[in-house]
């Protein structure tokens, strides 16, 4: 086997180790920086190396009493920073390995340097771990000897050895050779950060599903002592009160989401009519003022609603002065037509924003179609109905299918701020119910089970809607 093939195989190992090292930075269970019980067990190397305040939050008394020296925790903080920087440098070198031979050679330099820096960080943390063992009050400080330090040390040394070995196995750089990465790899590297964000914020939180199998209370550890199996899954359907609550919140959720689906065409219609405005300045003003509400939080929206519809609000005062009402009335406390009210508030906030994608689609329609229609004598509304609307149907169907898949995910903020004791029965949706069950009632295990079912049903709805789209339109989105 020639040196090139050996280098390619070693590169595979190097890339895998780079991925493993980056993932290890965010796993609290293998945090080598946790040298004391005063350091939170939920903290990772990344947390310890990015926030000195979070690292030493529980050491104020230990510092003042002299149980732990500040230099010890500074070494932990510095060592964590070295590990983060070192692994980040090796990852950068791994990305450069997708390029030409010259770029590969250059990439091995930060990989080797990063591995050395990570090793130094491991030694710094190990020194701090040995130093804290001599604390005069071990009962309060709870010194620990983190075994995970060896895992990070082995990874760092392996990265260093691989980087050096590959450097000498690669052929020499030819004179005039340039640093270059193929287009497909450039696109992959551009996509990589978004993939990482998707994994961190969409897939990593799925680890929280394990709480559904335990009798968990906030602050407890997950162990065989509180393992409950499928207890909470059965409880969800066996308990009459829970069943009644689920029926109620599902009714509210499906009703409000159904109204949203039924009026989803409004954004498309608004975009069509907006693009028909010939005065560009006026069109931009309208689009700006209809888009701005999307960036206003629901708390501020409720503040506006309170100023208008409260007992001393604008509407109530106006009706009292006109003699229609004898005393002020708080319309926000009224429970009638709550679903319609929430729909209207949601449309006011999101209509302009949701129309943006349709405006972009309209700009991509071939203008020759409109010119040909004008020659044939078509009027403005005929061109809108026969050209613009059919051209927007594919975009509308994709958005509709995504909305169907998320029919149970209609948010929580809007309903949380508008909820009152008078309308809670009709305004509590599934997300708000899960929030109240987990935060207010402390039933984290049960709320996790409900969240799991909601996710599974959403996936089923997505594939079902996609199947229906394929049968009706002959096209699918996935």
Cα 461 from Cα 402, distance rounded (Å):
9
Distances (CA, A) of 290 to 176, 268, 285, 287, 354: 56, 14, 9, 5, 10
Tell me 58's DSSP state.
G
Cα 262 from Cα 329, distance rounded (Å):
32
What is the predicted pLDDT for the residue at 476? Answer: 66
pLDDT for residue 478 is more than 70 = no
CATH for 224-473 (3.40.50.1370, 1.10.10.60, 2.40.30.10, 1.10.3720.10): 1.10.3720.10
Q: What is the mean pLDDT of residues 132-153?
A: 88
User: For residue 477, what pLDDT band results from cuts at 50, 70 and 90?
Assistant: low
Domains of the chain, by residue range, sit at 3-181, 224-473
User: For residue 475, what pLDDT band results from cuts at 50, 70 and 90?
Assistant: low
- Sorted by sequence, the CB contacts under 8 Å of residue 20 that are 6+ apart come out as 155
Backbone angles phi and psi of 99, in degrees to 5 = -95, -160
- Sorted by sequence, the CB contacts under 8 Å of residue 76 that are 6+ apart come out as 33, 35, 48, 55, 124, 125, 128
64-110 pLDDT, tens digit each: 888 888 899 999 999 999 999 999 999 998 888 888 888 888 888 99
Higher pLDDT, 299 or 324: 299
* Chain position carrying tokens 């407890």: 220
Q: Which long-range contacts (CB under 8 A, 24 or more apart) does 251-257 make?
A: 252/339, 252/426, 252/427, 252/428, 252/429, 253/407, 253/408, 253/410, 253/429, 253/430, 254/407, 254/408, 255/339, 256/339, 256/342, 256/343, 256/410, 256/429, 257/403, 257/407, 257/408, 257/410
Q: Mean pLDDT, the chain, as a whole number?
A: 86
Quote the pTM value: 0.72
Token pair recorded at residue 330 = 């708080």
What is the predicted pLDDT for the residue at 88? Answer: 92
Q: What is the mean pLDDT of residues 406-434?
A: 86
What is the predicted pLDDT for the residue at 75? Answer: 93
What is the predicted pLDDT for the residue at 111? Answer: 92
What is the predicted pLDDT for the residue at 1? Answer: 54
Cα 139 from Cα 44, distance rounded (Å):
23
Token pair recorded at residue 326 = 């004898």
* CA proximity to 126, closest of 143, 151, 145: 145
Cα 463 from Cα 55, distance rounded (Å):
45
Token pair recorded at residue 95 = 């990305």
Cα 184 from Cα 98, distance rounded (Å):
10
Higher pLDDT, 163 or 471: 163
Q: Name the range with the highest mean pLDDT among 248-252, 315-319, 469-473.
A: 248-252
């Amino acid at each position: 086997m020639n040196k090139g093939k050996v280098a390619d195989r070693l590169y595979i190992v190097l890339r895998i180790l780079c991925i493993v090292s980056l993932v290890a930075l965010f796993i609290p269970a293998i945090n080598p920086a946790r040298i004391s019980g005063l350091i939170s067990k939920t903290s990772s190397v990344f947390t310890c190396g990015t926030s000195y305040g979070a690292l030493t939050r529980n050491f104020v008394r230990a510092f003042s009493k002299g149980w732990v020296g500040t230099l010890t925790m500074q070494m932990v903080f510095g060592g964590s920073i070295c590990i983060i920087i070192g692994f980040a440098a090796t990852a950068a070198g791994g990305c450069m390995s997708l390029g030409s031979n010259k770029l590969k050679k250059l990439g091995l330099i930060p990989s080797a340097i990063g591995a050395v820096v990570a090793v130094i960080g491991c030694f710094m943390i190990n020194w701090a771990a040995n130093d804290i063992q001599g604390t005069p009050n071990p009962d309060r400080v709870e010194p620990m000897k983190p075994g995970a330090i060896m895992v990070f040390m082995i990874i760092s040394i392996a990265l260093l050895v691989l980087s050096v070995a590959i450097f000498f196995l690669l052929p020499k750089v030819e004179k005039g050779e340039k640093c270059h990465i193929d287009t497909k790899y450039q696109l992959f590297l551009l996509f990589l950060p978004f993939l990482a964000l998707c994994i961190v914020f969409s897939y990593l939180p799925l680890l929280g599903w394990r709480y559904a199998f335990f009798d968990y209370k906030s602050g407890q550890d997950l162990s065989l002592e509180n393992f409950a199996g499928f207890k909470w899954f059965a409880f969800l359907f066996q308990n009459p009160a829970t069943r009644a609550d689920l029926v109620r919140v599902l009714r509210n959720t499906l009703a409000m989401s159904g109204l949203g689906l039924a009026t989803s065409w409004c954004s498309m219609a608004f975009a069509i009519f907006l693009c028909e405005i010939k005065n560009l300045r006026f069109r931009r003003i309208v689009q700006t003022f209809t888009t701005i509400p999307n960036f206003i939080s629901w708390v501020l929206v409720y503040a506006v609603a309170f100023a208008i519809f409260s007992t001393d609000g604008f509407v109530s005062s106006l009706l009292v002065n006109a003699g229609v009402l004898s005393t002020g009335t708080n319309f926000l406390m009224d429970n009638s037509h709550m679903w319609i009210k929430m729909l209207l508030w949601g449309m006011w906030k999101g209509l302009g924003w949701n129309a943006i994608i349709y405006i972009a689609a309209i700009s991509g329609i071939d203008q020759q179609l409109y010119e040909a229609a004008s020659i044939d004598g078509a009027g403005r509304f005929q061109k809108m109905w026969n050209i613009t609307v059919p051209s927007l149907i594919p975009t509308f169907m994709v958005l509709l299918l995504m909305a169907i898949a998320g029919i149970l995910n209609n948010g929580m903020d809007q309903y949380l701020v508008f909820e009152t004791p008078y309308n809670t029965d009709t305004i509590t949706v599934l997300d708000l119910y899960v929030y109240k069950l987990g935060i207010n009632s402390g039933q984290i295990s049960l709320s996790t089970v409900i969240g799991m079912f909601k996710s599974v049903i959403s996936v089923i709805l997505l594939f079902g809607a996609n199947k229906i789209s394929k049968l009706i339109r002959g096209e699918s989105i996935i």
